Amino acid sequence: MNATNSLAMILTAPFAGRADPNTFHGMTISSVCSLSADPPLIQFNLHLPSFTSHQLHSHETFAIHLLPPTQKSVELARLFSNGVKRNKVTHQFEKTAPFKHLVEGKDWELAFELGPENIPVLSHSERIFICRKKEVFTVGDHEIWVGEVQDIKCHEAFHDKNKTGGLLFFNRGFHIIGERLVEQK
């Protein structure tokens, strides 16, 4: 398969009430794209099996984080990309716990409370898309999720004049988006 490029973003799943951060769910995704402007819809897919998918099905909201192209973003993307692991002894699937490596108040916070649901959001994000589940389709070993954007939060360091274009994933590595090419007329 040819190498493709895409934005590496982090999805965080909600939870109800108070919960232990070691039980929070989230994952790096590289399949986010715009689906519709009116209403504002985005789509992404998840490989199954997925503990994050299970958590998403139990709730109505989620957050998608656009990361700036920095070393910290690369570390976060790697941390959240560990996914489901199969125990070599029991052969059972085990969930990873990326939030146990992060510090509450520094790396993440509960900035959004949508009804009874809380969504952990990452502090090191250029933009955070707060979404409500619209549709979910199973196709082969993947789920295709459609979310309606309810709100977009912008980190104060990345207002309109400081947009970066996000963290690019290409050929198994992370990159910064380069300069714009001038089109010949």
The 10s digit of each residue's pLDDT in 21-78 is 777 888 888 889 999 999 999 999 988 878 788 888 888 899 999 999 999 999 999 9
Reported pTM: 0.84
pLDDT at 172 over 90: no
Structure tokens at 18: 């108070």
- The domain defined by 5-176 carries CATH number 3.40.50.300: no
Q: Assess contact for 110 and 119: CB atoms under 8 A.
A: yes
pLDDT above 90 (res 178): no
pLDDT interval class at 2 (50, 70, 90): very low
Instruction: Give the pLDDT score at 134.
Output: 96
Which residue would you say has higher pLDDT here, 131 or 173?
Answer: 131
pLDDT tens figures, 109-118: 876 656 677 8
- Cα 164 to Cα 68: distance, rounded to the nearest angstrom: 6
Q: Check if the beta carbon of residue 99 is closer than 8 Å to that of residue 79.
A: no
Predicted local distance difference test score (pLDDT) of residue 175? 77
Contact 117, 18 (CB under 8 A): no
pLDDT tens digits, 143-168? 999 999 999 888 776 666 667 778 87
